[in-house]
Amino acid sequence: MSEILKSVATRRAFLRDSAKVALAAGVATACKQDASATTVRQSVAAHPAAAGGAHDAAAAALANADAMDAMHEKSIKAFPAKTSGKGNQVLAPKLDKGVKVFELTAKKIQWETEPGHFVEAWAYNNQVPGPQIRVRQGERVRVILHNELPESTAVHFHGLELPNAMDGVPYITQSPVKPGQKFTYEFVVPNAGSHMYHSHHDSAKQVGLGLLGAFIVEPRTPTPAENVDHDFVFVLNDGPHGYTFNGKSFPATEPLVAKLGQKIRIRFMNEGMMIHPMHLHGMHMTVIAKDGWPLSNPWRCDTLNVAPGERWDVIVSCTNPGTWAFHCHILPHAESEHGMFGMVTALVVQK
Ligand SMILES: [Cu+2]
């Protein structure tokens, strides 16, 4: 026993005097007493080192934060980033004896969703979303579809209560429109509201790749909702092009710009396969229509869930100046450790 204690004391003295801390590991043995000696030595030796370690950890955390913040700042500073191609452009009809004629050509193109990021798109008239069709309730409309795709296709007018033969669903209401063929849809526009048109053939692929667009029907008799300063269409998608607003991902999404005191209308349309709770900072939204149908009791919210196929119309009174984040609140659709991306834009209320 005394031999052991002596040995420990000797070791303690040695370790205290030793400038070479690294030796401690080699000195430790299987003996309990040796282990406690090592513990004492370690607590003595570790004390000055601990302060330095904390310093290093804080410096490393700061360096990490700086690197991550720089990526976030870069993506936000790039907004609104320029890309080639713009979707949802209003298509002017040709008039044929009182009929409004719209021609849609479906074909494969390259589409830039964010700077430098090109994807294969299947598009109407070389844009994603396809051109915006805007008509009035009761007008006669002809839509001529030209298929230049490598697959059959068809156009469904989503939300319009059309005669059956015009509903655009292959093998339910018509034959598929084969590559190289065309098909003519013609009808009197029955119901007003925010509607859509899209492929209804191999649609998980074709709509995901861009065969979609807004079909907006102004009511026969304008309502107070039509009396706004800006009317924005917001088509959401989440297919192979990523998380997009009107065919673009942040920072290439377009900001909504209004002046203080103005009233804006936003028409959300979800052409994707997931829900997207749209969240506006700084001001609330007043929901005025669902799937084109005016609500008898408009209600307010700041987060509006938009499910696949749904359209929601909201009014925002721009009472709060500034640049306000406006994004999908399923956060992996909007932000990563590299910064914001996908379903993010801003409402800019200018003084
Ligand atoms: Cu989302």
pLDDT digits (tens, 9 = 90+) for 233-242: 999 999 999 9
**Tell me, what's the pLDDT at 49?**
57
3-state secondary structure of 160: coil
CA distances for 340 relative to 116, 154, 194, angstroms: 17, 36, 29
121 Cα to the center of ligand 1, angstroms: 20
Residue 51's φ and ψ, nearest 5 degrees, are -60, -45
Q: Percent of the chain beyond pLDDT 90? A: 80
328 Cα to the center of ligand 1, angstroms: 5
**Tell me, what's the pLDDT at 347?**
97
172 Cα to the center of ligand 1, angstroms: 32
Beta pairing, strands 140-147 & 182-188: antiparallel
167 Cα to the center of ligand 1, angstroms: 29
Number of CB atoms found within 10 A of residue 349's CB: 24
Complete domains list, the chain, with CATH: 2-77 (no CATH), 94-350 (2.60.40.420)
**Tell me, what's the pLDDT at 263?**
98
Average pLDDT over the chain, rounded to whole? 88
Nearest in space to 8 (alpha carbons), one of 110, 158, 227, 28: 28
15 Cα to the center of ligand 1, angstroms: 61
Q: 224 falls in which pLDDT band (50, 70, 90)?
A: confident
333 Cα to the center of ligand 1, angstroms: 5
pLDDT, one tens digit per residue, over 36-61 is: 444 444 444 455 556 678 889 999 99
82 Cα to the center of ligand 1, angstroms: 23
Q: Which residue has the higher pLDDT, 224 or 341?
A: 341
287 Cα to the center of ligand 1, angstroms: 19
Q: 226 falls in which pLDDT band (50, 70, 90)?
A: confident
330 Cα to the center of ligand 1, angstroms: 5
Give CA torsion, residues 94, 97, 98, 100, to 10 deg.
Answer: -30
340 Cα to the center of ligand 1, angstroms: 13
227 Cα to the center of ligand 1, angstroms: 29
pLDDT, one tens digit per residue, over 271-311 is: 999 999 999 999 999 999 999 999 999 999 999 999 999 99
275 Cα to the center of ligand 1, angstroms: 6
187 Cα to the center of ligand 1, angstroms: 34
Q: 26 falls in which pLDDT band (50, 70, 90)?
A: very low
pLDDT exceeds 70 at position 34: no
Residues 6+ apart with CB under 8 A from 322: 282, 348, 349
**Tell me, what's the pLDDT at 10?**
40
254 Cα to the center of ligand 1, angstroms: 17
**Tell me, what's the pLDDT at 159?**
98
Strand partners, 140: 188
3-state secondary structure of 164: helix
**Tell me, what's the pLDDT at 259?**
98
